[in-house]
Structure 1
Amino acid sequence: MRILPAVAAAAVLLVPGTACAATPKTIKTTTRTYAVSSDDFANPGRGFFSWTETHLRADGSGWVPLDAGELATARTSQSRSVVYRIVYLEKYRDLDAISGADLALIAADFAAARQAGVKLVLRFAYSADDDRDAPVARVVRQIGQLSPILTTNADLITAVQAGFVGRWGEWYYTTNFTTSDWSDRGQVITALLAATPALIQVRTPEIRKRLVPAASAARVGIHDDCFLAGTDDYGTFPAATDFAWMAAQSPSMLVGGETCDPSARSGWASAATELAAYHWTYLNPSFNTDVLDSWGAAGRAEASRRLGYRLRLVSATLPASVTPGGPVTVRLTITNEGYAAPAQNRPVRLVLSGPATQAVPVAADVRTWSPSRPVTLTATFTAPRKAGAYPIALSLPDPSARLASTPAYAIRLANPGTWNASTGTNALGVTLTVR
């Protein structure tokens, strides 16, 4: 604290009737700007995924469990934090109840994903070879049986695709569901929304418009499994207005899927435009290889970096020094160089280390961090009371208490030299000096 000399102080007091307004103290600040990283790295819930399938056949064959070691290696060496998992329930087309042993197999998949530090895009279906599925009452009952697993492990789910209906669970080639009466399909959507708090995805805009109630719309996105095929993604967008609808809705919903056939639209020039326009978060890197190969190495590398969010620090401003217990304001500017905002909200915190540690919550909703729109975050807090130097980091941990301390589930920023893989925090390279 600066003390006025005694003479000066007395002079002020000897002038009766004079209003004396205190002169605000100017706080010196320091600003750091940040370099841009071009590295490709894993971040939770986005990017090219690891594709897996498994089967529960009547003869007991076909089950291939997830391998935590393989998934962890794909995450660290191929930047794949998302695992697509389709579970075929062939033997349950004709049985009402999924056995406890088979439910345990499904639960074990989640345990492997948790160990590997990945999240799942999950789909259930009854056949990969024909249109045989199950009647709606059986489907709804089985969704109810799966509900405890889906709820307990919702923190590991990027999305549950609607599935269940038709070949591959894609809602088209089906024995038990018609398009003349959508009520049966509506029961599947209703059951899924009740079965898990996780995000849901449906195959087409028409399904979302017809069957998803307005109150649940924020939870339901699109999985386009014929991206860039033909003129309308092979029936995904049959109406003339569907592409405009997708462009308008996709900033606030989860979009992912796969390509399926080359077309006049499937080269990298068109793909780059549409990935951005429809805010894609995840994509199959294995299918269709003709389409993906046409993008070239540079196109695939750009897609891998930009699918979903890619958050980058632009600048940080903070006081040059503060007094113990004094007020502090830190401002950060962040931009999103990805195709989409994060689909899931999460805490935003400044972490001070040094003579003492302090975590400062920052009011923010990361789901609003849209591509190419810089966001300024402001955190005002009380400085530590112990003098010293306090390096500051930005923490964006998973919102789940079970995952919050696991670095694999924290967001890494696209700046060189900031990521701390052991703590899951991003060092700002600035220090708050308390003296």
Structure 2
Amino acid sequence: MVRSPRAQRWLGHASLALLSVAAVAAGSLGDAATAQAVSPNRVADFRVSDADLPNPERGFYRAADTDLGALDPAFVAKTYAEGDRLIYARIDLAPYRDRDLPAAFLERLERGFETARRGGVKLIIRATYNYPRGETEYRDAQDASLPWVLAHLAALKPLLQRNEDAIAFMQAGFIGAWGEWHTSSHDLTAPEARTRIKDALLAATPNRFVQFRYPPYIQDWSPEPPDLAAALDGGFRLGFHNDCFLASDTDVGTYDDDPVPRERQRRYVDALGDLAPFGGETCNPADDPSPRPRTTCDDILIEGQRFNLTYLNEGYYRRPFHDRWRARGCLDAVRARMGYRLALVTANHPARVAPGGELAVSIVVRNLGWARLYNPRPVEIILRDGQSGVMRRLPARGGEPRRWLPGSDSGATLTVTVPDDAAGPQEILLALPDAAPRLKGDARFAIRLANADDGAKGQGWDATSGAFSLGTRVEVVGKSVAP
């Protein structure tokens, strides 16, 4: 097995750390802990799976035909059954451009969020005041005045925060045709107006990224993307969605007509994808005066990787893009690589531990996808009793899945406190559940690792618990160290 130098260095440090933990424990845990210090560690390696593995908050999405408040449970069920985990849902504000949002309207939106939650999917949300149905109608689309936009955002804020668990990403919306921040009938793309709307959007969704349609606007607010730490602590949550991805040299007005600033914008978006989610859809390039759509497999595979493509519309303008990718044999690769794709490389932990003691499980994870995880997610170590089958889910310290970057191996030492009542052989499983209390126990929202089941090694995905069995066991022996 070939490991990156980074992974090799990390494994060396991890081995030293494990010996140190064992040595300290030996002084206080008695004979059982001493046995742990001198006994060999349990080591496992894993095979990568090339199977299509649907996972939360990534991949192709389906666009709902209705407003969020009328989201159809049958449509959600079909989406889930056919392997997609994202649905684009509009909040249709067209009837309320100059009046308050009725309580009944907000209640319908609440039910829409619950429909998605029950169906096992997450939502890409955008609020709009219009949705033109043609290639010219958009020029006459009407939005709302700035005071009404801010009032509507204030009314939506409690709803969005209550249902943040069902939201994967928020698209900025509100301004112009389709909420795409162009052709505003109330001059909302003026710098002061768009900045006030941006600030209100971020305040309304404090734990989710908000994606904007045009790179120059994002550059105005943040001329240089910050470091990863700013995204991890929530200090930076500006993302980009491209609704004419690959459609022309400028992606139909997404980028500047002038090649020099256009390349600067593309470099900026390239760097932004390391921090914030990028997604969108392909489109008809008819509005471009000299369109040269990029439709080959090389185009999507190179640009998907470059810009960290996390999601893409499953159904819009397929013929020159999706259908061609299928015909030329790369659609499955696009489906597999959008967003994150996490696979275990190795795992290493002590053979024995005392009840009440600390168990350190060192892992190396490879991200085979185009992007990282963007929303917070915990790591759990599950101990499954080898005799009774009782499962103990233990929150792990020392793991941050959002740092498992695409195209690299990442090491982590996951530490848990073994329950006082645990005894005997315990099978070890690794879980990446949803962070939200309402979804944490729902295995449909857990991340399925891209590893192959191996019955001979005891390795495999447990769909009931939403966890992957490492095929290793730790023996819990001796007396508890709890007071």
Q: Scaled by the length of structure 1, what TM-score is found?
A: 0.86
Q: For the residues of structure 2 that align with 1:358 and 1:116, how far apart are their CA atoms? A: 24
Shift of 1:148: 1.3
Considering only aligned residues, what root-mean-square deviation do their CA atoms show, in Å?
2.4
What is the percentage of aligned positions where both structures have the same residue?
34
Amino acid at match of 1:432: V
Correspondence 1:332 to 2:363 = yes
Shift of 1:205: 1.3
Any idea what the Cα deviations from partners look like across 1:128-186, whole Å, max 9, x if unmatched?
2232111111111111111111111011111111111111111112211265x321122
User: In structure 2, which of residues 261, 265, 276 is the aligned counterpart of residue 242 of structure 1?
Assistant: 265
Shift of 1:87: 2.7
- Provide the residue aligned with 1:39 in structure 2: 51
8 Å CA contact retained: 2:378, 2:395: no
User: In structure 2, which of residues 75, 83, 100 is the aligned counterpart of residue 79 of structure 1?
Assistant: 83
8 Å CA contact retained: 1:261, 1:291: no
SS of the counterpart of 1:251? coil
SS of the counterpart of 1:353? strand
Shift of 1:328: 3.9
- Provide the residue aligned with 1:145 in structure 2: 155
Q: Structure 1 residues 105, 328: closer, same or farther in 2, change over 3 A?
A: closer
Any idea what the Cα deviations from partners look like across 1:52-80, whole Å, max 9, x if unmatched?
1435xxxxxxx8711234313322x3221
Q: How does 1:3-402 map to 2 (within 5 A)?
A: 26-54=38-66, 65-75=70-80, 77-93=81-97, 95-129=98-132, 130=138, 131-177=141-187, 179=189, 181-197=190-206, 198-211=208-221, 218-238=236-256, 239=261, 240-261=263-284, 263-289=292-318, 290-296=320-326, 298-322=329-353, 328-354=359-385, 357=392, 359-381=394-416, 386-402=422-438
8 Å CA contact retained: 2:433, 2:466: yes
Q: For the residues of structure 2 that align with 1:194 and 1:85, how far apart are their CA atoms? A: 20
Structure 1 unmatched runs, 5+: 1-21, 56-62
8 Å CA contact retained: 1:189, 1:212: no
Any idea what the Cα deviations from partners look like across 1:191-238, whole Å, max 9, x if unmatched?
211222232110011121224698876211001111111112122222
Q: For the residues of structure 1 that align with 2:181 and 2:114, how far apart are their CA atoms? A: 29
8 Å CA contact retained: 1:337, 1:372: yes
Q: For the residues of structure 2 that align with 1:358 and 1:49, how far apart are their CA atoms? A: 31
Q: For the residues of structure 1 that align with 2:168 and 2:417, how far apart are their CA atoms? A: 37
Between stretches 408-417 and 270-279, larger displacement belongs to 408-417
Any idea what the Cα deviations from partners look like across 1:72-91, whole Å, max 9, x if unmatched?
3322x322111101233221
- Provide the residue aligned with 2:3 in structure 1: none
Q: For the residues of structure 2 that align with 1:426 and 1:301, how far apart are their CA atoms? A: 24
Shift of 1:119: 0.8
Between stretches 118-127 and 354-363, larger displacement belongs to 354-363
Answer with 1 or 2: which has the greater Rg. 1
Amino acid at match of 2:466: G
Shift of 1:265: 2.1
Runs of 4+ off more than 6 Å: 212-217
Q: For the residues of structure 1 that align with 2:379 and 2:93, how far apart are their CA atoms? A: 40
Q: Structure 1 residues 378, 217: closer, same or farther in 2, change over 3 A?
A: closer
8 Å CA contact retained: 2:42, 2:473: no
Shift of 1:382: 5.5
8 Å CA contact retained: 1:260, 1:291: no
Q: Structure 1 residues 265, 29: closer, same or farther in 2, change over 3 A?
A: same
SS of the counterpart of 1:226? coil
Q: How does 1:395-434 map to 2 (within 5 A)?
A: 395-417=431-453, 418-434=460-476
Q: For the residues of structure 2 that align with 1:264 and 1:97, how far apart are their CA atoms? A: 42
8 Å CA contact retained: 1:84, 1:122: yes
Q: Which has the higher contact order (CA 8 A, sep 6+)?
A: 2
Q: Structure 1 residues 149, 299: closer, same or farther in 2, change over 3 A?
A: same
Structure 2 unmatched runs, 5+: 1-33, 133-137, 286-291, 454-459, 478-483
Amino acid at match of 2:430: L
Q: For the residues of structure 2 that align with 1:25 and 1:172, how far apart are their CA atoms? A: 65
Q: Structure 1 residues 340, 25: closer, same or farther in 2, change over 3 A?
A: closer
Amino acid at match of 1:97: D
SS of the counterpart of 2:38? coil
Q: Structure 1 residues 328, 185: closer, same or farther in 2, change over 3 A?
A: closer
Q: How many residues align?
A: 403
8 Å CA contact retained: 2:171, 2:241: yes
Amino acid at match of 1:199: F
Shift of 1:51: 0.8
